[in-house]
Structure 1
Amino acid sequence: MEDVSTGILFSLLILLLVISGYFSGSETGMMALNRYKLRHLANQGHKGAKRVEKLLSRPDRLIGLILIGNNLVNILASAIATILGMRLYGDMGVAIATGALTLVVLVFAEVTPKTLAALYPERVSYASSVLLQLLMKLLYPLVWFVNGITNGFLRLLGLRVGNHHDGKLSSDELRTVVNEAGGLIPRRHQDMLLSILDLENVTVEDLMVPRNEIAAININDDWKSIVRQLSHSAHGRIVLFRDTIDEVVGMLRVREAYRLMMDKNDFSKENLLRAADEVYFIPEGTPLNIQLIKFQRNKQRIGLIVDEYGDIQGLITLEDILEEIVGEFTTSISPTLAEEITPQNDGSLLIEGSANIRDLNKSLNWGLPTDGPRTLNGLILEHLEDIPDSQLSVKVAGYQMEIVEVSDNMVKRVKIMPGQLQKTG
Structure 2
Amino acid sequence: MSKQEPTFALIDCNSFYASCERVFRPDLAKVPIVVLSNNDGCVIARSYDAKPFIKMGEPYFQIKHKLRQHGIVAFSSNYALYGDMSERVMSLIEAMVPAVEVYSIDEAFADLTGIGGLDALGRQIRAQVLRCTGIPVGVGIAHTKTLAKLANHTAKRLQSQTGGVVNITDPVKRDWVLRNTDVGEVWGVGRKMKLHLNAMGIKSAMNLAKADPWTLRKKFSVVIEKTARELGGMSCLELDEPAPLKQEICCSRMFGKRLVELQPIKEAVATYVMRASEKLRAQKSLCKKVRVCIRTGMFNPEEAKYANGVVVDMPYPTDDVRLLTQAAVGALDHIFRLGFKYSKAEVILLNLCQLGEHTDDLFATSQTAEANRVMTVLDQINVRWGRGTVRLASVPLDPHWGMRRELMSKSYTTKLDQLWSVACE
Common fold: TM-score over 0.5: no
TM-score bucket (shorter structure)? under 0.3
Larger relative contact order (Cα-Cα within 8 Å, sequence gap ≥ 6): 2
> Which one has the largest radius of gyration?
1
